[in-house]
Structure 1
Amino acid sequence: MTFSAFTLRPYTEADEDAAIELWRRTWATHFPHIDFNSRVAWWRERWRQDLVPVTAIVVAECEGVLAGFMTIDQTSGYLDQIVVAPEHWGKGIALALVGEAKALSPGGIELLVNKDNLRAIRFYEKHGFAYAGEDKNPVSGIAVNRMAWKP
């Protein structure tokens, strides 16, 4: 595994546009059959209303460019997002972001992952998360796996 040189830091308001674009580009790469361009306004609203006010957000930068981020609700331990730019997949950023999530929520973490996102499921299992049952995505209604990490 090749690791990129990157730094982690807390999210700032100045990161919003880069984070929104990173989300769009990454999800569009992973699920090319879904029109994520049409979802940007919705995502920006969700980002501003549902995530920024209540989650800890850590970003990863490579050479001054946003390469990833994660959002975790420290009260509930719910990990809503880990997003890593496709050109940085497999380079250690997601692992570092999961490590930050575990440090910020040491009592445990839960997350939802699309059943067809086998890459993510394997990643989470490899790093201590276990299948914790069936669920539905609260936004799309799609069946998902609930996964949990307990220290």
Structure 2
Amino acid sequence: MPQPVIRLARTDEYDEVARIWMESWVSTGLEEASNFLLAKLRARVPMEVEQGWSLYVADDNGKLAAMLALHVSDRYLDQLFVAPEYQGNGLGRRLLAFTRQHLPDEIWLRCVRENEKAWRWYEREGFAFEKEQAEPTTGFAMKYYRWRKSA
């Protein structure tokens, strides 16, 4: 079976990107799916792109399998979400390798403290914990991580 292709997202895919974001986020058990959450994410996607996101998708023959949002100038991996039916098959690792191609020297990211599966995965992938800080807009405690290319 061919691997999904990682490519830039098209504007006509933003609603689908928001759906994947919501379904993957909900799969963490930290929030329940709702029309309100989906509407919030649908509104946020184009706003974030306008504010500097480089937005990528993993395209599985026309079906979106994942979304990846980077702030390249800040070396920031903002969002990496894999649709639940694609989780556990190495797609997240491929997206992280893709990120390292675009940010070859350093990457920083934030993870919700309660999303232990995610931050443990980043630790296994070579990211070092730097600090924990509350996010005032969401109320979540965020763990900050950084990866630097070895000398």
**In the alignment, which residue of structure 2 is the partner of 1:61?**
59
Change (3 A) 1:36 1:80: farther
TM-score (norm 1): 0.88
Question: Aligned match of 2:85 in 84, 87, 90?
Answer: 87
Checking the alignment, whether the CA contact within 8 Å between 1:18 and 1:66 is kept in structure 2 is yes
TM-score (norm 2): 0.88
Alpha-carbon separation, structure 2, partners of 1:23 and 1:107? 27
Deviation at 1:149? 0.8
**In the alignment, which residue of structure 1 is the partner of 2:36?**
38
Alpha-carbon separation, structure 2, partners of 1:144 and 1:53? 21
Alpha-carbon separation, structure 2, partners of 1:102 and 1:120? 17
Residue 72 in structure 1 maps to residue 67 in structure 2: no
Change (3 A) 1:124 1:17: same
**In the alignment, which residue of structure 2 is the partner of 1:47?**
45
* Per-residue deviation, residues 74-132 of structure 1 (Å, max 9, x unmatched): 11111110010111111111111111111112231111101111111121111111101
Seq. identity, %:
27
Aligned residues: 149
**In the alignment, which residue of structure 2 is the partner of 1:98?**
96
Alpha-carbon separation, structure 2, partners of 1:76 and 1:128? 19
Range with bigger deviation, 88-97 or 137-146: 137-146
Which consecutive unaligned segments of at least 5 residues does structure 1 have? Answer: none
Residue 21 in structure 1 maps to residue 26 in structure 2: no
Which consecutive unaligned segments of at least 5 residues does structure 2 have? Answer: none
Change (3 A) 1:124 1:36: farther
Question: Aligned match of 2:129 in 108, 113, 131?
Answer: 131
Question: For 2:74, what is the secondary structure of its paired residue?
Answer: coil
Checking the alignment, whether the CA contact within 8 Å between 2:21 and 2:67 is kept in structure 1 is no
Change (3 A) 1:52 1:101: farther
**In the alignment, which residue of structure 2 is the partner of 1:108?**
106
